[in-house]
Amino acid sequence: MSNAVTSLLVGFALWLMLSGYFEPLMLVFGLLSCALVALFAHRLQLVHPGEHRPHFHLRLLGYLPWLFGEIVRSNIDVARRVWNPALPISPSMARARADQRTSLGLLVHANSITLTPGTLSVDVSEEGIIVHGLSREVTEGVIDSEMNRRISAIEAGH
């Protein structure tokens, strides 16, 4: 049950940071929605005991500024490709390397890819993550990426 409580606290902290709502009614709604998500995740056993570590969440906070920078950089790249017809839009797919040891690490990696504009995680397996990219350059950049290394380092505790 401590995994559910940790998920609730981390989820609510993230909700507070992203929503910006501090009115009592909105705080109650935010807390209730985070509690429901934590309860469903616990009941569905989406997080296996021993894999879900609070330290992972704390180390993840150091990763978020880097991810935000990548999202901004990718947004600019996508906008340039859309506005400039000379820049190629050549959709492609590739299997990205995923060295994560836990399902939580793999989930963070796949979601980070999808959050980054111009890329989408299509399938996740032990062999890696199949990624669809807006262009070949973008897709090739995800195959053996800094993102993979950073998330693996978070898992390892470095």
> What is the distance between the alpha carbons of residues 7 and 96, in angstroms, rounded to a whole number?
28
Domain positions in the chain are 2-43, 54-156
**Prediction pTM value:** 0.69
pLDDT tens per residue, range 112-135: 999 999 999 999 988 899 999 999
Q: Does the pLDDT at position 50 exceed 60?
A: no
pLDDT recorded at residue 111:
94
pLDDT category of residue 49 using cuts at 50, 70 and 90: low
| Coarse DSSP helix, strand, coil percentages of the chain, rounded to the nearest 5 percent | 65, 10, 25
Bridge partners (DSSP) listed for residue 130: 95, 123
Contact 111, 67 (CB under 8 A): no
Place of tokens 């989820």: 11
Q: The dihedral of CA 65, 40, 53, 121: what is its sign? A: negative
For residue 3, the model assigns a pLDDT of 74
pLDDT at 44: 75
